[in-house]
Amino acid sequence: MHTRSFLGISNPFSLPWLGVLFALLLFTNPLQAARPTGEMGKDWGNPKGKACVECHQAETPGLTQEWNHSQHGQSGVNCLDCHQAKPEDKDGFVHEGERISVIVTPKDCSTCHKAEFEEMDGSHHAKAGDILGSLDNLMGEVIGGPAAVTVGCKQCHGGVVEIGADGKPSPGSWPNTGIGRINPDGSKGSCSACHARHTFSKAQARTPDTCGKCHVGPDHPQIEIYNESKHGIVYRASVDKMNLDSDKWVAGIDYSAAPTCATCHMSAGGKEGKTHNVGERISWTLRPAVSKKLNLVKLENGQEFDVPEGEAVPKVGEAAKESKVIEVLTWEDRRNKMKSVCSACHTENMVEGHYKQFDDLVELYNEKFAKPIAAMMEDLKKEGYITPAPFDEKIEWVWWEIWHHEGRRARHGASMSGPDYAWWHGIYDVAKNTYFEFIPELKEVVQHKDGNTKKADELLAKHFKGHEGHDWYFNGLNKEQIEKVRQGYEERYGKGALK
């Protein structure tokens, strides 16, 4: 009987040889072991990048390890391939004999990822930094303070990256991976907002938690809504079946347990291919005070813009915004794109039912609360009851939270099948704050100027009485409604429960 040879050792499992093997494993360079085969500079990567790798292996081993095990590292893309700066780059500086830049912008990434860059460049994500000129930013900068905006708003929306005389980003504006970051080379966005450096993992970008860094909180709680939805529940229970590392990652083919945010808004499914344009499949806007359905106009220069339903939409070939229209997607087209993705896992009846319920909630919010209150606020300004300046009267704060917080939560809850956010954190709060915060404050504002509440009563009659949903406020619950409530209480809690 012969002992099988292993590396020329007759018995590699004897105690001395196990010690030698352990030592070999311990001292083998994991970076070298993980690199692509061949010679750096000849078979892969910028040859000068070898020095970067060797130095950073000692200086920043965690960063280097992440890069090396990434698809970039495995494909031979090294430090200089991404960080080398051109002579004209104002964010360039000399480091160890090479002119480099700390910031890797979407324009830099487009060298290899052209399609992804072009899809992202005109999208809602790339424009997220436009918040810098909005009412939200005014609240942050003035009422909160610039420091709060730097570590809060700009870390999600992005900000202008300022470059010092030394060519390095200023500490006040860096680090920043805001999705709409405004870069020194003029590009907008940050690929590492979703593909965190230095792994740049597609699997990580597909997880709901990645989107949840920014889509979270009182005014846009998408991650919380997703987590309570059936989609989120099934995802958590079946994450090991999601095949998140797949190159093509097609819904219904590579995975079928549940969708993530990326599935619905970016990834392939049904008849839809993948896209980095996150807004292309969105037919309602749920952000402003009043929701509108949106048509999408794409331009020859790579940019795009929305046109609300009912407004004039330019035709293909016409001039628009200093460019030419190359494609128009109506709100129905956009919705059909989303429906196509849904169809990878759901029947037509299921999809149509979801959209019917979603539309009904948005219309309820719009017609019963948002439009009437917005109209009253305009009347108050026109007639001098409140000033044109934002946030200098309590009633403006009340209205802000009704639409910006509760109203958004309700609409997003309906869109993503999150019942608690659609009702208790949504329409319930909208109604409560309308009747018991906004209306009392409306009367207070009018009383302060006129000495009576006559104008407030007129505004309520003008804007609220026309909607049957407010009838209970003016006339109280009718006998039939009260009896229905009484019966419900008694069935659950016993006779006489409702006094």
Per-residue pLDDT of the chain (499 residues; tens, 9 = 90+): 443 333 344 444 444 444 444 344 333 444 444 445 566 545 667 888 889 999 999 999 999 999 988 989 888 899 999 999 999 999 999 999 999 999 999 999 999 999 999 999 999 999 999 887 777 778 888 889 999 999 999 999 999 999 999 999 999 999 999 999 999 999 999 999 999 989 999 999 999 999 999 999 999 999 999 999 999 999 999 999 999 999 999 999 999 999 999 999 999 999 999 999 999 999 999 999 999 999 999 999 999 999 999 999 999 999 999 999 999 999 999 999 999 999 999 999 999 999 999 999 999 999 999 999 999 999 999 999 999 999 999 999 999 999 999 999 999 999 999 999 999 999 999 999 999 999 999 999 999 999 999 999 999 999 999 999 999 999 998 888 888 888 988 899 998 888 7
What CA–CA distance (Å, rounded) separates 391 from 171? 31
337 and 224 in a common domain:
yes
Q: Model's pTM, two decimal places?
A: 0.88
Do the domain assignments include residue 233?
yes
Other Cβ atoms closer than 10 A to 260: 26
Tokens of 117: 């860059």
Q: Are residues 315 and 240 in the same domain?
A: yes
Residues 398, 449, single domain; the answer is: yes
Cβ pair 105, 86 in contact under 8 A? no
Same-domain status, 292 and 370: no
Residues 6 or more apart from 283 whose CB is under 8 A from it? 293, 294, 331, 332, 334, 335, 338
Residue 11 lies in a domain: yes
Same domain, 337 and 221: yes
In a domain, 481, yes or no: no
Q: Are residues 338 and 355 in the same domain?
A: no
Co-location of 169 and 111 in the same domain: yes
Instruction: Report the number of distinct structural domains present in the chain.
Output: 5
Q: Are residues 149 and 257 in the same domain?
A: no
- In the chain, the amino acid numbered 496 is G
- Distance from the Cα of residue 213 to its chain's centroid: 8
User: What CA dihedral angle connects 193, 197, 202 and 204, to 10 degrees?
Assistant: -70
From 308, 342, 376, the end of a domain falls on 342
Residue 139 lies in a domain: yes
Q: Is 498 part of a structural domain of the chain? A: no
Distance between CA atoms of 37 and 34, rounded to whole angstroms?
Answer: 9
Q: Do the domain assignments include residue 206?
A: no
Kindly state whether residue 252 falls inside one of the protein's structural domains.
yes
Has residue 259 been placed in a domain?
yes
292 pairs with which residues across the strands?
285
| The residue to which tokens 């005070």 are assigned | 289
For residue 368, which of 282, 446, 220, 469 has the smallest C-alpha distance? 469
Q: Are residues 338 and 233 in the same domain?
A: yes
User: Are 310 and 370 part of one and the same domain?
Assistant: no
* Orientation angle between helical segments 348-364 and 331-342, nearest 10 degrees: 130
- Give the end-to-end CA distance of the chain in Å, rounded to a whole number: 93
Same domain? 78 vs 113: no
Give me the domain span that covers residue 173.
92-193
4 & 39 share domain: no
Q: Report which of 472, 402, 477 is spatially closest to residue 442, judged by C-alpha positions.
A: 402
